[in-house]
Amino acid sequence: MHRNGTSLTRSQQPASTDILKRQLLLLAPLLLLAPPPVAASDALLDEITVLATRRPVGIESVSAAVATVDGDEVVSGKLTTDALRNLVGVNLQQTTPGQGAAIIRGLKGSAVLHLVDGMRLSNAMFRTAPTPWFALVPTSSVERVEVIRGTPASLYGSEAVGGVVQSVSRLPDFDSEQMSYAGDVVATFDTAELQKSIRATIDLGTRRLSSSLSAEYLRTGDRRVGGGERIGPSGYSAKALRAVVRGRPAAERSWFVDLHYLEQPDTPRIDELVPGFGQTEPSSSEFSFAPNRRVFAHVQHEFLAASGIDWKVDAAWQQIDDDRKTRDLGSSERRLEDNRSNLYGVAINASAGTDALSWIAGVDLYHDEVRSSRFAQDVNTGASIALTPRFPDGSTVAQAGLFGNLQWRAADRHHLTAGLRFSDVRIDLPDGTTIDPARLSGDLGWIFEMSDSLHLVANAGSGFRAPNIADLGTLGNRPGNRFNIPNSSLSAENVTHGDLGLRYRAEGMRFEVVLFALRYSDRIVSVSTGEQTPDGRDIVQSVNAAASTIRGIEAGLDLVLTDRLDVSAVVNYARGEQEVSATSEPADRVPPLNGRLELRYAPGDRWQLATWLAAASGQDRLSARDVRDVRIDPNGTAGWASIGASVTWAHADGWQVTLGADNLTDKEYRTHGSGIDAPGRNFSATFRRRW
């Protein structure tokens, strides 16, 4: 694949694409035919506790499709989003190396709700396209990341259309009444992006009162893609701090105060700075996020009353800065933008339960204010003038939700989940325009225990997504050589969703396969007005003009073969159709068939070897928008396969060293919809010390 538009034509791709499709399709029946486990592994026997139901429960009691990744994998990557790459039902898109966005069941951006410890990270500036801000969660703050696939509408409300991505923060934890401490330092280097990073955490305290302080620094160079070329400018840097204080004054009471800060001072948007498909020149001479910054403060208090009802109160504030420096190709006018969201939230939950029946009910309130300004600066003289901002300055979005959800053991083998939510959203624009959608949404879940280990699970939900400020008021350049103009008369999007699956969990083996379908109506999409700006960009406007139907299958396996050998596999496939202005076409940017197979072998207590194969088939089912997007080959994205391996040595004193090699064949390829080719052959080293 080449960025100058000379990629393989469709007629040249089928052989390799068809082979990849056949190879990936073989993985699904192999999962079903997998032999019973020979022995048990501690790693597979641990029960995972998740917050998918807004309260800690075992994953086996959740009907929704849930995938998790732990903090050890997160902290060894560059970005928090990197750890989503290998999860069931998730695809990772990167517009530029310093960012990353999850695509869940073919949906992305503002159709996927992002949370940190149950509080919204998603804000009024989230685009319907992939958004970068989950990458601003410090990796050292993460205990685990949870992904809920589907529409948990009663629990989370607007924007939980395709699913929910949640970072669960790590809290300091000591058992003793005596003062104790613990530390963790991680240093990582690689060759493909010339990464140099260090993360350090120190915990100090007792069982009743403890604290944690973390710091991170990361710098990369230009990315080396398959074949050896370095694509630039694509290097970036990031710095982060995190501080938390936790109190447990009594068995029935706990609280914490948590502060996050992460900044990428100057991250170039590479797809604007190099020629895309069909282009001989890039779209921009300058384009960088300068800076991308997130500040987050969260206070939580939990209390178990004598009545047996658990109470939890959360209050949070988040500020995201999305400042930009841009200049069209050959222009002498540089544009400087200051875009900021201040999001305030309060949530109050009450929950209780027995073995037969448990419930949670609560209220959440959010207020988001967007500030935006833009200036034009002459690069020769330095003179500047004010311009119309990207977003209407002073716009606000207020949300209020009232919800209830219960889990009921209806019979010996039947577990039911049901929830209902009322949401009221009010959007106020500076010109006096007010949009006030209010919706009832809900969901149902069912678990049938076919045996102690094998469960049939089903879910159905009806939800919505209210338009936000990015939908209503964006003015300016968009990716794919587009220029967006505002539209203040949008209405809410609606979704109905269902899935049906099998889930097997026993000693040494975990397996799931899920079939899903969703109907996404009144969908907000960018539609061409038929006009162009003086510099040749297509003028587009967001309208409620699309309806999408997406169906697919997701499968995952973790299997212990022997005491020292285990295997994991993932297969994802989604197929989407959409109608836009009475025209039927493939849905936007739906990932192709893709999967991953990994083997892990432990020759001794201190060593672990791993090897993996990641692959995707070609994707030539493109919407008209995909064809115009210079990030996507108009003939279709070629299929690819990449192999890698790693060796890890761990010592009882807390030392751990991992040496890895990825994309060993130096394959040049691009994940469908991304703005830059994937890294080429990459050698990495991670050094970790815990005490």
pLDDT score at 132 = 83
Question: Which position has the higher pLDDT, 40 or 418?
Answer: 418
Portion of the chain with pLDDT greater than 90, in percent: 76
Q: Which residues pair with 419 in a beta bridge?
A: 405, 443
pLDDT at residue 372 above 90?
yes
Residue pLDDT, tens place only, 102-158: 999 999 999 999 999 999 999 999 988 788 899 999 999 999 999 999 877 788 888
b/e per residue 394-412 (b: at least 16 CB within 10 A)? ebbbbbbbebbbbbebeee
pLDDT for the residue numbered 541: 87
User: Mean pLDDT throughout 497-510?
Assistant: 94
Question: In terms of DSSP H, where are the helices of 95-243?
Answer: 153-156
- Kindly indicate the confidence band of residue 35, based on its pLDDT and cuts at 50, 70 and 90: very low
Q: DSSP E strands: which ranges in 307-394? A: 310-328, 333-353, 357-378, 384-387
- Residue 331, pLDDT above cutoff 90: yes
Q: What are the start-end ranges of the E strands in 220-283?
A: 223-224, 230-231, 237-250, 253-264, 267-268
Structure tokens at 409: 């053991």
The whole-number average pLDDT for the span 65-73 is 92
Tallying the residues shown for the chain, one arrives at 691
The residue behind tokens 């009691």 is: 61
Q: Average pLDDT in the 17-22 region? A: 46
Mean pLDDT of 518-536: 87
Q: 5 pLDDT band (50/70/90 cuts)?
A: very low
- Kindly state the average pLDDT of the residues 506-520: 95
* pLDDT at site 52: 63
Please give the pLDDT value at position 536: 81
pLDDT category of residue 17 using cuts at 50, 70 and 90: very low
SS3 426: strand
Q: What is the pLDDT of residue 158?
A: 85
Asked, for residue 588, whether it belongs to a domain, the answer is yes
When pLDDT is averaged across residues 345-370 and rounded to a whole number, the result is 94
Q: Point out which residues pair with 449 in neighbouring strands.
A: 455
How far is the C-alpha of 52 from the C-alpha of 62, rounded, in Å? 8
The least confident of 42-56, 382-396, 476-490, 625-639 is 42-56
Region 525-549 average pLDDT:
86
pLDDT of residue 46 exceeding 90: no
pLDDT at residue 637, as a whole number: 97
User: For residue 29, what pLDDT is reported?
Assistant: 41
**387: domain CATH number?**
2.40.170.20
> Once rounded to an integer, what is the mean pLDDT over residues 73-89?
92
What is the residue-averaged pLDDT of the chain? 90
Mean pLDDT within 208-237: 97
Closest CA to 681 of 650, 660, 658: 660
Report the relative pairing of strands 607-616 and 594-604 from DSSP bridges: antiparallel
- Residue 1 belongs to a domain: no
The pLDDT of residue 60 is 77
Residue 287 to residue 423: CA distance in whole angstroms: 38
Number of folded domains in the chain? 1
Amino acid 39: pLDDT = 34
pLDDT for residue 650:
95
- Write down the number of H helices and E strands in the chain: 7, 39
Percent of the chain with pLDDT over 70: 92
Residue 202 lies in a domain: yes
Cα–Cα distances in Å, from 457 out to 347, 373, 443, 447, 463? 29, 49, 14, 5, 20
State residue 643's pLDDT score: 98
Scanning the structure block, which residue is given the tokens 């955490």? 201
Residue 458: the pLDDT is 97
Helix, strand or coil, per DSSP, at residue 654: coil
Residues paired with residue 345 on neighbouring β-strands, in sequence order: 316, 366
- Average pLDDT of the residues in 656-683: 97
For the entire predicted model, the pTM comes to 0.90
Whether 19 has a pLDDT exceeding 60, the answer reads: no
Mean pLDDT across 299-303: 96
- Cis amide bond preceding 233, omega within 30: yes
Q: Answer yes or no: is pLDDT of 45 > 70.
A: no
**Which one-letter amino acid corresponds to residue 334?**
R
- For 454-473, the pLDDT digits (tens) are 999 999 999 999 999 988 88
Distances (CA, A) of 447 to 65, 68, 346, 412, 457: 12, 20, 32, 11, 5
pLDDT value at 13 more than 90: no
pLDDT (0 to 100) of residue 173: 95
Residue 553 confidence (pLDDT): 97
Domain limits for position 669:
10-690
Kindly tell me if the per-residue pLDDT of 569 is higher than 90. Answer: yes
Identify whether 4 is part of a domain. Answer: no
Residue 183 domain-assigned? yes
pLDDT band at 32 (very low <50, low <70, confident <90, very high): very low
Helix (H, G, I), strand (E, B) or coil at 1: coil
pLDDT at 155: 87
